[in-house]
Amino acid sequence: MMTLINIRRLAVMLIALSCIGLSACSTLPSMQAQVSASGQPEEFLSSAAFTQSFPGTERQTCEAARRALLSQGYVISEANDAAVKGRKYFQPEADVHVQIEFHVTCAPNNQGSNSATAFANAVRDRYTLRRSTNSASLGVGALGSISLPFGSSDDALVKVASETIPAKQFYSQFFDLLERYLDPMEAVASDAEKAD
């Protein structure tokens, strides 16, 4: 049988454990602020995977980016001298739909350097198919109405996840392809115009 002293000790231990639990919960949000949704720490590094410099103007760099995306099946929704946006769709499973939206921003480097930097960012959205069936009601004179389980079913794609693709190799392959689409003759013509 538990004595009064043992009951008091148990109560004190429970209170102490509750306080420790509450203090741990209060520090959790500040720790989570430093970690991205994929569990990777969010850091600002000088050698990021999302940027690379190329010879030529920003217009030439963005045009090469547009061609690189087109060559991989992206649908271009926006393209100008300083930015390109493309979208590609996948269906890895019957009820799953994935969409990648690729953004490229081109900016000139130091004046007179005839080079530009491409900043790339790809966001992957994941959708799943949700079904909801609608039952039909049938009114029958003296009996009232009867609800039957037949009728139409509404299917809707619902977004279940969205993340920036973090893989360095993904962007490295894109930048390699972009470099292949840079027109070296156009860069030479641009240099000749500057010389005149």
How much is the pTM? 0.64
The answer to whether residue 64 is domain-embedded is yes
The answer to whether residue 17 is domain-embedded is no
Beta partners for residue 102, in sequence order: 86, 122
Examine the pLDDT at 184 and tell me if it is beyond 90: no
The answer to whether residue 6 is domain-embedded is no
107: containing domain: 46-126+163-183
The answer to whether residue 63 is domain-embedded is yes
13 or 26, which is more confident: 13
What CATH number corresponds to the domain at position 174?
Answer: 3.30.310.80
The answer to whether residue 16 is domain-embedded is no
Examine the pLDDT at 87 and tell me if it is beyond 60: yes
Distance of alpha carbon 167 from alpha carbon 67, whole angstroms = 22
Give per-residue pLDDT as tens, 122-159: 999 999 988 776 655 555 555 555 555 555 566 788 88
